[in-house]
Amino acid sequence: MDTSQLLKGVLDLAVLAVLDRGDGYGYEVVRGLRAAGLNEVGDASVYGTLRRLYNAGLLTSYVVPSDEGPHRKYYSMNAPGKARLRETSEQWLAFAKTMESLVKVA
Beta bridge partners of 62: 74
Nearer to a copy of itself, 9 or 42 (CB): 9
- Which of DNA, a copy of itself, none binds 18 (CB below 5-8 Å, type-dependent)? a copy of itself
Binding mask 25-54 for DNA (x = CB under 7 A): xxxx-----------xxxxxx-xxxxxx--
The least distance separating DNA from the CB of residue 32, rounded to whole angstroms, comes to 11
The least distance separating DNA from the CB of residue 12, rounded to whole angstroms, comes to 6
Alpha-carbon distance of 68 to 47, in angstroms, equals: 21
8 A C-beta contact, residue 75 and residue 64: no
Nearer to DNA, 71 or 86 (CB): 71
Nearest to 77 by CA among 22, 36, 14, 29: 22
Helix, strand or coil for residue 81? helix
Cα–Cα–Cα angle for 38, 43, 44, nearest 5°?
Answer: 130
Q: Which residue among 36, 56, 63, 64 contacts a copy of itself (CB under 8 A)?
A: 36
Question: In which element (H, E) is residue 18 found?
Answer: helix 11-19
With binding defined as CB under 8 A, does residue 43 bind a copy of itself?
A: no
Within 52-71, the residues that bind a copy of itself by CB under 8 A are: none
